[in-house]
Amino acid sequence: MLTKTGDTSSNPPYTIGSTAEWLRYVTRLRLSVSEQERSATVSSTTEGGFLNAVSFCKDYKKNGKTPLLSFYIHRFLRYSPTYMIVLGFYAILMSYTGSGRLWPNYDTNPVCKRTWGWNLLHLNNFQNQYEQCYKPTWFYAGGMQLHIVSPLILIPLIKWPIVGYACVCVCILASSLLLFVLTVKFNLMHGFSAIAFNFSDLKTFYGRYNMYMDIIWDKPYTRLSSFLVGIAYGCYFHRKNFTKAGKSSKLSLYYGLIAFAISTWISSIRNNVGKSTWETAVHDIISSFLFCICSAWILYACSSGQGGSHPLNFRATTAIVMKVVSGYSKTSMRCAMKPLTVPPRGKLRS
């Protein structure tokens, strides 16, 4: 079924001979692609919420308040110019960077001509898959939307911590309930890896997959829980003043490591996409939440000095966190790419 044509070497073409073998091969991509992609977006959103909260709290402590207008304008000016340049290059010049039967031959991307305003307003993730100018930018749009609503949680966390943390818990529960209801109501499947169970009706599969992307994957409420966990820890981090060297707690570190290992194991268990819709929904919600807790613990271990060194200022803390995130991202990419290799003679590599 999978063949590499035009191979003139002594080795036979790359091939996966039977449907059963192809199904096994596609199923194995689940953890390496679907789970790694989910983990990367969850961890990035958690870290974004953390940095957002710390920055907001610092401004509030310094000035006694945070001007919301400057809070929004600063974010927009920091990212949007570069974002628009990249989008313009993709829309106007991308077609000139290559050629071939599958390469676009238009002068300007016709979809971008119609919908670029959605990107400028950071609302493009509320379009369907076929109307988005540049699909990967859904993540940036979702991040901007979460940034806009973050003061609704940050201000209570600063002024009335108990009320703020209660709001965080309520929002996390509401977000989880919404995801569960949407998944069950529209009978959504878990990502592209579900193709392994739907070869008999690919047309229906692609329809359900696109619906999953439009209703669940691209939307900000899908990552609201991880963003709020990052915000909650960011405010806690600022209140406890971890930027100053303090006494390291081995007990805290060891219990944290154990909880981290258990949570990571649970969140990475392969979900059997052949299960019922509600079981899939519950698994996705729990695994994503546990992984964002794991990401928050990494932030705690780095920022509080439990990981072995005490950061002396926020800049050092950020550098350490970004180093951890960078290492994780590289590892995730290697794990994701490794199973995609199909060696000669049709034998799948583990």
CA distance 151 to 156: 8
Q: Closest by alpha carbon to 62, among 238, 317, 228, 244? A: 238
- Residue 7 banded pLDDT, cuts 50, 70, 90: very low
How far is the CA of 128 from the CAs of 36, 218, 259, in angstroms? 23, 9, 38
- Residue 8 banded pLDDT, cuts 50, 70, 90: very low
- CB contact at 8 A, 137 and 123: no
Lowest-confidence pick of 98-102, 109-113, 172-176, 262-266? 262-266
Give residue 120's domain range.
25-304
How far is the CA of 143 from the CAs of 66, 150, 223, 266, 298, in angstroms? 20, 10, 9, 26, 21
Q: Closest by alpha carbon to 293, among 247, 339, 262? A: 262
Residue 285 lies in a domain: yes
Residue 318 lies in a domain: no
Domain tally, the chain: 1
- Residue 56 banded pLDDT, cuts 50, 70, 90: very high
Residue 12 lies in a domain: no
pLDDT in the model for residue 220: 94
Higher pLDDT, 299 or 196: 299
> CA 17 from chain center: how many Å?
35
Residue 341 lies in a domain: no
How far is the CA of 301 from the CAs of 184, 229, 250, 253, 330, in angstroms? 37, 15, 11, 7, 20
CA distance 127 to 228: 24
Higher pLDDT, 103 or 343: 103
Residue 348 lies in a domain: no
Strand-pair partners of 16: 2
H helical segments located in the chain: 19-29, 36-63, 68-88, 110-120, 138-149, 151-159, 161-185, 202-212, 224-240, 250-267, 277-303, 314-337
Task: Report, as an integer, the average pLDDT of 16-45.
Answer: 61
- CB contact at 8 A, 223 and 41: yes
- CB contact at 8 A, 158 and 55: no
pLDDT in the model for residue 133: 92
CA distance 305 to 302: 6
| pLDDT for residue 316 is more than 70 | no
Hey, how many other C-beta atoms are within 10 angstroms of the C-beta on 76? Answer: 14
Residue 10 lies in a domain: no
Residue 3 lies in a domain: no
pLDDT per residue as tens digits for the range 318-348: 454 444 444 444 444 333 333 333 333 433 3
Residue 145 lies in a domain: yes
257: left (phi over 0), alpha (psi -120 to 50) or beta: alpha
